[in-house]
């Protein structure tokens, strides 16, 4: 039983990490799954609280654990026993469990927790993150601004402020207010940098500074200010290199380094520096391949390899090296098909797979290989057609969801 419970807790943590790493909606920019500076750790802490309490009583069964939490929140538990300290904590635990299936259910639970603990900046942060992921931008902005206000004059308030400021910038980007977003990111970067200089041995502050530079780079890149974007990305990369060197076993920091090279490659490619872009992409590829070999079961890591190969193919094609580009695309395709086949629900991956098939088919057609071109183009078209059919069922799915929600409501809040 102990081994089963340990595995159940580990599985919950891993699923939560994957969930938080997913884009908030299909086909959205990968930035929508950017690091949430502090929120992931807080969500995971709520899962840890579940693992040490109600999950044990539920025998490792997540649905039963959620049911037990609801009963206790409704006052129907055995003697209304405390799980670990407060009603707000119970709602947060329920929210963390719910997040694995439904962001909407998680939002409802975390909103209740925030109502019960209005002066808890962490509760505001988690509420803001879920509001942002569900498109409730005004509510997300209010939560992050309240989080910043609660940090004023408090011990450790500087950390709370810059993290809230970073995510406030994310909300402002989503609202289309790029100038205000840049101000928010700049302020967060200055505050984070000041703490990092004060405590240079604290890697969390160093990484948060790197994240703020990435956010600024993304925004500047989107605005077409490529020189400034490149400068910001390079500052982020310097920090990522130092962190990766400090702890080579930290897969997260190694991935930051890989992605950092890819970001620089993207800007250099747009600036017309194809040789510089190719070198950056190849550095990113080498790191991604090392991580994929280290943990071949982690689909996201394998997908990173296919993305790097696709980027390399684009640059080689722009340099007039169609044969080398085709080889890179094909190598990336082989990996992408294996990864996407293991997670067909990731519609963004499916669409990217179709794009690569189109690239290969188009190159084969230019080379006069009509039969091969037709094969790849038809495979790509079939993927898009399948996604189109999936989208056509959206209204029916909403009706189905309403039926499930109605049935679940009969079981209690």
Digit-coded pLDDT (tens) for 177-191:
999 999 999 999 999
| DSSP tag of 61 | -
Q: If pLDDT is split at 50, 70 and 90, which confidence band does 8 have?
A: low
Non-local (6+) Cβ contacts of 278 within 8 A are 265, 312, 315, 316, 319
Burial class (CB in 10 A: 0-12, 13-18, 19+), 119: exposed
Digit-coded pLDDT (tens) for 192-201:
999 999 998 8
Mean pLDDT of 406-412: 70
In DSSP notation, 171-182 reads HHHHTT-HHHHH
Choice among 39-43, 168-172, 267-271 with the minimum mean pLDDT: 39-43
| For the chain, percent of residues with pLDDT exceeding 70 | 87
CATH 1.25.40.10 fits 224-314, yes or no: yes
**H runs (alpha helix) in 295-393:** 299-318, 322-342, 347-366, 370-392
In the prediction, which pLDDT does 78 show? 45
- 310, 393, 302: which is closest to 340 by C-alpha? 302
Digit-coded pLDDT (tens) for 251-296:
989 999 999 999 999 999 999 999 999 999 999 999 999 999 999 9
In the prediction, which pLDDT does 61 show? 85
pLDDT(62) > 90: no
More confident residue, 184 or 58: 184
Digit-coded pLDDT (tens) for 19-38:
665 554 443 444 344 556 77
Mean pLDDT of 139-149: 95
Q: Where do the structural domains in the chain lie, given as residue ranges? A: 224-314, 360-413
Handedness of CA 257, 259, 261, 264 (dihedral sign): negative
In DSSP notation, 7-36 reads HHHHHHHHHHHHHHHS-SSTT--GGGG---
- 47, 55, 39, 134: which is closest to 93 by C-alpha? 47
More confident residue, 361 or 39: 361
Q: Which residue has the tokens 């130092």?
A: 242
- Choose the most confident range, by mean pLDDT, from 72-76, 126-130, 325-329: 325-329
In the prediction, which pLDDT does 2 show? 60
Mean pLDDT of 121-140: 93
Q: If pLDDT is split at 50, 70 and 90, which confidence band does 321 have?
A: very high
pLDDT(124) > 70: yes
| For the chain, percent of residues with pLDDT exceeding 90 | 63
More confident residue, 40 or 214: 214
What is the overall mean pLDDT for the chain?
Answer: 87
Digit-coded pLDDT (tens) for 384-403:
999 888 877 777 767 877 77
In the prediction, which pLDDT does 82 show? 47
In the prediction, which pLDDT does 176 show? 93
Digit-coded pLDDT (tens) for 303-316:
999 999 999 999 99
Quote the CA–CA distance of 34 and 260 in Å, as a whole number: 13
140, 50 contact by CB (below 8 A): no
In the prediction, which pLDDT does 276 show? 98
Mean pLDDT of 84-96: 84
């Amino acid at each position: 039983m102990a081994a089963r419970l340990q595995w159940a807790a580990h599985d919950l943590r891993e699923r939560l990490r994957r969930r938080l790493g997913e884009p908030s909606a299909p086909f959205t920019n990968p930035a929508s799954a950017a690091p949430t500076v502090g929120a992931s750790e807080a969500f995971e802490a709520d899962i840890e609280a579940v693992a040490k309490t109600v999950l044990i009583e539920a025998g490792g069964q997540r649905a039963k654990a959620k049911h037990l939490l609801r009963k206790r929140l409704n006052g129907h538990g055995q003697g209304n026993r405390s799980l670990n300290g407060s009603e707000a904590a119970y709602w947060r635990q329920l929210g963390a469990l719910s997040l694995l299936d439904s962001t909407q259910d998680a939002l409802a639970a975390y909103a209740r927790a925030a109502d019960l603990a209005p002066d808890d900046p962490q509760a505001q942060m988690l509420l803001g993150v879920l509001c942002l992921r569900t498109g409730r931008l005004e509510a997300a902005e209010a939560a992050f601004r309240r989080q910043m206000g609660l940090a004023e004059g408090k011990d450790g308030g500087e950390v709370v402020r810059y993290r809230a400021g970073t995510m406030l910038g994310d909300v402002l980007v989503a609202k289309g207010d790029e100038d205000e977003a840049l101000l928010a990111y700049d302020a967060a970067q200055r505050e984070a940098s000041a703490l990092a200089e004060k405590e240079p041995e604290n890697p969390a502050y160093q990484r948060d500074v790197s994240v703020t530079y990435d956010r600024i780079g993304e925004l500047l890149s989107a605005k077409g200010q490529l020189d400034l974007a490149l400068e910001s990305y390079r500052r982020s990369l310097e920090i990522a290199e130092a962190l990766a060197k400090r702890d080579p076993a930290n897969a997260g920091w190694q991935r930051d380094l890989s992605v950092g090279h890819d970001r620089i490659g993207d800007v250099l490619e747009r600036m017309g520096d194809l040789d510089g872009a190719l070198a950056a992409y190849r550095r990113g590829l080498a790191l991604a391949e090392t991580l994929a070999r280290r943990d071949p079961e982690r689909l996201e890591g394998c997908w990173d390899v296919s993305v790097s190969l696709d980027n390399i193919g684009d640059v080689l094609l722009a340099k007039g090296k169609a044969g080398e580009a085709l080889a890179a695309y094909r190598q990336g395709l082989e990996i992408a098909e294996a990864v996407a086949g293991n997670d067909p629900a990731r519609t963004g991956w499916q669409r990217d797979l179709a794009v690569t098939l189109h690239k290969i088919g188009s190159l084969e057609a230019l080379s006069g290989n009509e039969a091969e071109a037709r094969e790849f183009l038809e495979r790509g078209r079939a993927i898009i057609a399948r996604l189109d059919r999936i989208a056509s069922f959206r209204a029916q799915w909403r009706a189905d969801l309403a039926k499930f929600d109605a049935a679940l409501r009969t079981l209690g809040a």
